[in-house]
Amino acid sequence: MTAELARDPNSPDDPYLWLEEVTGEKALDWVRARNHPTIAEFCRGEFEADFERMRAEALEVLDTDARIPYVRRRGEYLYNFWRDAANPRGLWRRTTLDSYRGDSPEWDVLIDVDELGRADDEKWVWAGATVIEPEFTRALVNLSRGGSDAVIVREFDMLTREFIPDGFTLPEAKSQIGWEDPDTVLVGTDFGADSLTESGYPRIVKRWRRGTPLRDAETVFEGTRTDVSVSGSADRTPGFERTFVGRAVDFWNEETYEVRGPELIRIDAPTDASVSVHREWLLIELRTDWTLDDNAGATYRAGSLLAARYDEFMSGTKDLSVVFEPDEHTCLHQSAWTRDRLLLVTLADVASRVEIVTPGSWQREPIAGIPPATHTVIAAADDTGDEFFLDSSGFDMPSQLVRATDGEHLEEIKSAPAFFDAENLDVQQYFVPSKDGTLIPYFVVRSRDAEAPGPTLLGGYGGFESSKTPGYSGVLGRLWLARGGTYVMANIRGGGEYGPSWHTQAIREGRHKVDEDFAAVADDLVRRGITTVEQLAAQGGSNGGLLMGIMLTKYPEKFGALVCDVPLLDMRRYHLLLAGASWVAEYGDPDNPDDWEFISKYSPYQNISATRHYPQVLFTTSTRDDRVHPGHARKMVAALQAAGHQVWLYENIEGGHAGAADNEQAAFKAALSYSFLWRTLGGHA
């Protein structure tokens, strides 16, 4: 890399800006020229048999009919979206509870995405459906070309099983749309000039009535171009009908308003808190401490969940009840309503606990009968009835799905098969002090017979308050653990494993703590004799891909290999590419000299060295990723190669930010990554 490029990648001296032209022929030719040697090296030749075996094993896991078909209740039916070998793009379908309880439910298919794609001559990827409630007769179906975040919207008649030719439809955009009543939707989309934010999301919410052109829709709310996005929603619960708009000022701050005729009444909670409304109740989940001057100076701790009666709160009476308060080891992980109960999942040193809460008294009772040594999440909850589903799994235990209507009687309704022999697996949790002394937990999963030291894969994310928790992965189990590899999951700062403060202390100028935590775990694995530097690999995607880029350029001596998926890497320009502007609150603003001072110290693209020894690295991305620009990976590969380093790239033409548009592509990508890891670390696949 030239000195000029290191100083200012925005300048004409950056020779790789042209690689940001996503579908330019020159850029795509460059991609193909790098895909070919990667595939030839790790998928073909003398190692082709190993690769194909892993690809087939991964695809069997992803396609098997023995997987749990997770459901969501809408009225009398349970809905599911399903992909398998016969239906690679998937089926949107439904069944009844009685049928679902059986081993072979009878599914009523509403939309066959493969068939729809053939009819439209498009490679559609399912992006969800918004069903009108409580009628359950119409749906707003989102379809993506190749897996991108941008979607088209079509109105679907769930009685006739047909799309409505003159119904609500939107062209491709990063739209937000929802029902206000059977003949009205609230919509934010690309309305034309100046209708999007700098992040590429809707800036305007409009009320669009059936039978009228979109251009005549009534404006309900406008944000500013510097906002991340605005959105509209409606609660159609009988007796509690309300319309809301939200204005995301940045990634972590949002103003929420109730729309009452021409008036907008703000929910007067901290903008960095999460607010939700259910029937007569308002919930406020705090990200920072909140002191109320009009409530005897009461201070509520960051990470607390508060409740109030909605109408009283909106009238100015802030009579708040504490539903949950964190401690040094415990945080709130998940919450969901049934009609009359609130479900809570908490984490204590990354171990889950599920409770059921009675509104009003806010009495919490643990739910008994959950499998020990597993992580449990709320898979679904019916906010119009009393039904909920809980899913429990662990590194060595496949998922078990239970159904309940109270906190005492759990019905095991489905269980996933074992995809690998976990009988001899051992799971241990360790803690290591980071550079500033903070104890960082991590899990080590390996066979009791595994070689020590041996090939080890370390995973991490460290951003956006996203928690990494124990869970079962048939692909990881088959392609890594069953072949003698060790897997490590690091619960580094930037995530939410210990509540919002675990995240907020590691954003912006504190970002270095994420890297220091991860490096500390890597060192501890070697110190404990679990692995060696030469046998240690790390993998991460998106924000975790940024982490891999930092490991490559700041801590290359700690790793034998890195897999960097759909990454952010050029932090000088990230805010100018696709959705990047929405993450300024997380990383800082590169155009602000004070922020660039700390960003520049870790931005991988600006810190490539031609003289340091780097481990082997595989970058993967997707041409159709319209969230994290593929130019990050492309430019990093180009700059690394120019600096004399060997580096590998695989860019999938489809896939969006997930990197794969169907199970076939996901299996190929998994096999490629594990083939690279086994080859590079000196193991045998």
Token digits of residue 530: 């679990």
Cα dihedral 312/314/320/321 (nearest 10): 70
| Calpha distance 681→455 (Å, rounded) | 6
Name beta bridge partners: 144: 125, 151
DSSP annotation of 580: G
Q: What type of residue sits at position 313? A: F
Rounded CA separation 26/15 (Å): 14
456, 536 contact by CB (below 8 A)? yes
Annotate 405-431 with b (16+ C-beta within 10 A) or e (fewer): eebeebeebbbbeebbebeebebeebe
| CA-based nearest residue to 522, from 485, 553, 494, 560 | 560
> Active-site residue among 542, 582, 603, 675?
542
**H or E stretch covering 281:** strand 281-285
Spatial CA neighbour of 155 closest among 238, 214, 201: 214
* Residue 542 known to be catalytic: yes
Please tell me the number of Cα atoms within 13 Å of 128 on its side-chain side: 10
Distance CA 515, CA 304 (A): 28
Pairwise CA distance, residues 648 & 652, whole Å: 13
Give the length of the chain: 685
CA distance 218 to 374: 50
CB 376, CB 404: distance < 8 Å: no
The catalytic residue among 503, 629, 645, 657 is: 657
Task: Give residue for tokens 């940024």.
Answer: 546
- Using DSSP, state whether 457 is helix, strand or coil: strand
| Strand 536-541 versus strand 242-250 pairing type | unpaired
Token pair of 377 as six digits: 């999440």
Helix (H) / strand (E) containing 392? strand 388-394
Rounded distance between C-alpha atoms, residue 123 and residue 12, angstroms? 37
- Strands 77-82 vs 184-188: parallel, antiparallel or unpaired: unpaired
391 burial level (CB within 10 Å; 0-12, 13-18, 19+)? buried
Amino acid at position 685, single letter: A
3-state DSSP assignment of residue 299: strand
H or E segment and range at residue 41: helix 25-42
Main-chain dihedrals φ then ψ at residue 31, nearest 5 degrees: -60, -50
Q: Minimal CA–CA distance to 392: which of 71, 68, 95?
A: 68
DSSP 322-363: EEE---SSEEEEEEEE-SS-EEEEEEETTEEEEEEEETTTTE
What tokens were used for 480? 């890594």
Q: Smallest Cα–Cα separation from 127: which of 167, 62, 168, 172?
A: 172
Of the CA atoms within 13 Å of residue 355, those in its CB half-sphere come to: 16
Rounded CA-CA distance 512/510 in Å is 5
Q: 46 with 56: CB under 8 angstroms?
A: no
Dump strand ranges (E) for 367-471.
375-381, 388-394, 397-404, 410-415, 425-433, 439-447, 456-459
Please give the Cα distance from 145 to 653 (Å, whole number): 11
CA distance 74 to 66: 24
Q: Could you list the active site residues? A: 542, 657
